[in-house]
Structures are given as C-alpha cells and as structure tokens.
Structure 1
C-alpha cells in the first residue's frame, strides 16, 4: 500500500503510527495512515484487522 521511500511501517509494527497520513479529516477528528490505520485525534486507532486501540491503552503501552 505504501509507495514512499523508505516505506512506512506496517500496521503490525511497533512504530506503526509513524506512517504518513494519506487522508486527513481534522474536522471529524481522524486521519487515514498509509498502512491502513485510522488514527483518531484522541490517540485511539482502528487497525486494518478491525482491532481497536483505545487512547488509554496507547498511553499505558507507551509508558511501559
């Protein structure tokens, strides 16, 4: 899906949120990343697999 060089991290990578935004809708509070992740302004994410990462889950993972 990614044509950038170097390629964006895959949706399953630990640094997946470093992927470039390919569509941004700040008025709705979300962006679509190059790796298929929908990133929400509150820090939550919807992965291509359908898994939801809530904003509080991310904060706990990043703090560890």
Structure 2
C-alpha cells in the first residue's frame, strides 16, 4: 500500500491515475502505480480487483482505418 504523505488516491478513487508509479516500463507500454493499478499507455487500466477500465484516449488518425 501507499506510504506517501499525503497518501495517493486509492484504486477505487476516480483520480486513481494520480498515484505515483512504482514500476515504469515504457518499452512495454505500462506502469504500476503505488495503489496497485496497472496503467497502460493507451490510458486503459487494470484495477487490483481485476476490473478493466477501457482506454479514455480519443482515437488518433493512426487508429482509424478507412475502406477504399
């Protein structure tokens, strides 16, 4: 659990992404926050209880494919 003062937001808080990273792996596209949340590069999240939070990042031109 978080030992920071003041404590970081819990995994159940709406501002959970504000917790400090304890492991960061940009080459793999994820960070582990001190509240147990896995935060992914695309802004998706995996909470400690197994719940998945879908990415909130708006799609970019690279994400969109068009049929010709």
Q: TM-score, normalised by structure 1?
A: 0.85
> What do the CA deviations read for 1:14-53 (whole angstroms, capped 9, x no partner)?
1111000000000000000000000000000000010001
Gaps of 5+ in 1: 60-64
Partner-residue secondary structure (3-state), 1:32: strand
Matches within 5 A, 1:1-64: 1-55=1-55, 58=56
- Count of aligned pairs between the two proteins: 58
Query: Which of the pair has more CA radius of gyration?
Result: 2
Q: Distance in 2 between matches of 1:28 and 1:54?
A: 18
